[in-house]
A and B are shown apart, each in its own frame.
Chain A
């Protein structure tokens, strides 16, 4: 299978280039520090998991966005050289995308895994919640790295590419919830359970947040809506559907990126 070999090659170099960069080490150190400080102060795994969840559902998309954009524009000339080599474009961009998102995921896994293991994660019931937290962090990293690389590919002007990517992050992290809440308020006299379920599926950050909350059994805090969400997301169907949605959020941006790379001029 020669073609996958070439993609592996691109992946290896992108991964190496990433893990040797200063910023990714800062990112790793941030998680290490965060994990140790939280566990030291709390000395309680489950409440630390909740605090960390609140941080990573905002932070992983932002970091994925920034690194995706930076990697794309910094390596643009080298990517052009690669495009002139006997290799399919899709392999180049898939390889680079996997290199960026996996190196970021590695920082997340090591940076949070190490402190939690030291504080006795392996013998705790929290291990499944923790694994889910890491999985969601990775899903968001993949999703937003893909989205930002796709946006960068479509904008040769790096200021525009950077701006649109950060705006998209801001939209999903903040603006979306604002719109969502206003709609809930405006239509509070109508049955909008189905609608709010749908709305939260269409935002990967919301979807991740709800998945974690339900799993952590703190949905009771969310009142009536929480009960609706609990019946949906807590059921087998709900888990399957939301799992599929998250998987779609992981893969679709990468697919779109590869697709638009085929028609672009370099």
Chain B
């Protein structure tokens, strides 16, 4: 589905991605993890064609993405920050996406799942941050696509909506989609991810299945297992 070959990216002197190669051929949920500024968002944005890598190639379903923008029909994107044109209504915003690409005909079910019917005619500028994030979630999950890219999907959502979103993510995995998600909340990775990719200062330092990781490090908590595997034992034993 997605094949990333030796991509690197520099912003002036800052190297954000260093020679990353990754392939995702099977459906499933992949957690892209790493500390702040490790290049997670940049990596996702290169797949979306938003950030143009300095070197390397990315193929989605065998097509070089620098050649043809139509591959983005197969990728839905949930960005980290949800800001929309202030003077448009929720309904009009949904219509923009619906006119731009193939959309699931049952998308109104998503609208009601997050209780957004009452806001349909409301201007986006009048919505609270949490409601805007729900709109953001609907916008990405309504797309008919094989691949979903979710950047910090639960930020700003209330607990009930977070649970709904997690169920939604699982159901889309069961539809056979590839889902790439970044998060700092280990609980979400533990609950959802099949596989994790760990980035550190722009390099990929670890890739593996969550179950294997827990087994090899003999840790029950994923958080400890990751820290153990990547940063070595000393960090875990660190006393504060």
Contact = CB atoms under 8 A, between A and B. Distances in A.
A84 B92 contact: no
B52 A263 contact: yes
Contacts of B45: 265-266
B88 A16 contact: yes
A78 B125 CA distance: 13
Band of interface residues on B: 20 to 34
Contact of A77 (B48, B71, B79): B79
Interface string A75-89: 111101111111110
A99 to B, nearest CB: 10
B8 to A, nearest CB: 13
Interface in A49-100: 74-78, 80-88
B72 A84 contact: yes
Nearest to B145: A86
B120 interface: no
A3 to B, nearest CB: 10
B51 A86 contact: no
A253 to B, nearest CB: 23
B53 to A, nearest CB: 9
Contacts of B69: 86-88
Band of interface residues on A: 20 to 34
A18 B81 CA distance: 22
Nearest to A22: B87
Interface in B31-87: 45, 48-52, 69-73, 75, 77, 79, 81-87
B101 to A, nearest CB: 5
Contacts of A9: 96, 99-100
Interface in B86-138: 86-88, 92, 96-97, 99-101
B51 A13 contact: no
Contacts of A21: 86-87
Most chain B beta-carbon contacts within 10 A, residue among A14, A16, A81: A81
A193 interface: no
A85 B100 contact: yes
Interface of A: 6, 9, 13-14, 16-18, 20-21, 74-78, 80-88, 263, 265-266
The 10 closest A-B pairs by CB, nearest first: A20-B87, A77-B83, A84-B77, A86-B72, A17-B85, A265-B51, A266-B50, A84-B48, A86-B73, A17-B87
